Structure 1
């Protein structure tokens, strides 16, 4: 009997404690932690490669008639040069830095330098000879764009970013050089370093960080399409048609005035690896 009373008392006590605990206020669960989604920014340094197509953008006609003087030709011999298409492959690399004022969408400023190979074709401007050249001589016209072997630029960039898409304009210093006449190894008087300017624009898109193209584990891989107009001043050096001695590949006569500028356009695609802020 006493045992039953003790068991009943213990059960009553446990029920009372449980009821009291149920009446106590419960501890609130901690709020969920939300990790902010990183906002993309174009700020950072980058390097990359590009390839494209370059073509003559000059409005001037480079065709001309050249009276070949004696004793290098029969009296009255005239060489008439015709225009040839000046275009070809262009490729190289670039490095630069961008700064975006507001992450996400906003104004982006930057600077970029690039160096490019040019192949406008190794064939010189052909000529129609009215008369006869003396044996051992030929004429050539070094004024075409095929005299350029390479060019480069140092340009500022100004654009607006729509998240991962950047639309920009660009402009700045340009330079270039090359053999004025590859057909005889490049005469020293015409193998000149030229300077000028370049202007253009483009559009660039940033791929996700985990893109399969991200070999260097950069903060972003970007793809761009860009167009440039390049104008290189050739000054007032003698750059007209030349009469060349085929034996020693040296010019023996030339017309006094040549083309003053090299003007060409480049349309290219590029791939960049950006390092810095995400």
Structure 2
């Protein structure tokens, strides 16, 4: 029995070694399968990402102009009172305008849109000149203007070219002041007229656009009562740069 122990022990040891070798080979095969499966999954994922990127390049998303927007503007204003009689002095005035606008764009077909915009501008442009009567100085100008306009435009991706026109409002004011004393004859009125112009707008990002616009406005005839009635026919020219934010995106 003692002599049989060593061969039996060796047999048992060989069996264990063989079993361990079999387990090792099975583990290696399992690892190979795992690695091959991972490589295949990564390859499919990379191929899908590349195909998706190619699709985006082949079919770019067109810039979306539709929706509600709002923003601010800064620009130049020229006001021309055009007195109705040679003896009435109302000097031209120029200055800076600033304000805000809100509007809505609605595409009507591929490459075209219609919209509505309202704006308000502070300007504070006034000019003083000697009156025909040298005992007085004449001052004229405007503190603010506003408009409600339609816009009709043509889009080329993120560029919008448009024409605009509508109703305009102007807070026209003036006075005559006696040089000999503090006597001031002042009057003001909110004039209503029409305005028309054109502009260009560039989509800087999905939610922000920059614009440049020029307009002419005519406010018809009006009479202001200073020391005597002053008839005027004001006209105004504006050029402004603007920035707009799509409010629908901000409210989401």
Q: Which runs of 5+ in 1 are unaligned?
A: 1-28, 67-80, 131-137, 209-218, 243-250
Alignment of 1:29-48 (within 5 A): 32=48, 34=52, 36=56, 37-48=60-71
| Aligned-pair CA distance for 1:32 | 2.9
- Residues matched between the structures, number: 204
What's 1:173 paired with? 167
What's 2:242 paired with? 270
State the alpha-carbon separation in 2 of the partners of residues 270 and 151 from structure 1: 16
What's 2:30 paired with? none
More strand by share: 2
More helix by share: 2
SS at 1:65 equivalent: coil
SS at 1:120 equivalent: strand
Which structure: larger Rg? Answer: 2
Alignment of 1:1-278 (within 5 A): 32=48, 34=52, 36=56, 37-56=60-79, 60=82, 64-65=86-87, 81=89, 84-102=91-109, 106-121=111-126, 123-127=127-131, 129=133, 138-141=135-138, 144=140, 146=141, 148-181=142-175, 187=186, 190-208=187-205, 219-235=206-222, 237-239=223-225, 242=226, 251=227, 254=228, 256=229, 258-259=231-232, 261-276=233-248
| Aligned-pair CA distance for 1:126 | 1.7
Q: TM-score, normalised by structure 2?
A: 0.67
**Off by >6 Å, runs of 4+ in structure 1:** none
Q: Which runs of 5+ in 2 are unaligned?
A: 1-43, 178-182
> 1:190-233: CA deviations, max 9, x gaps?
3211111111110000112xxxxxxxxxx421111100111123
Q: CA RMSD in A?
A: 3.6
State the alpha-carbon separation in 2 of the partners of residues 182 and 52 from structure 1: 29
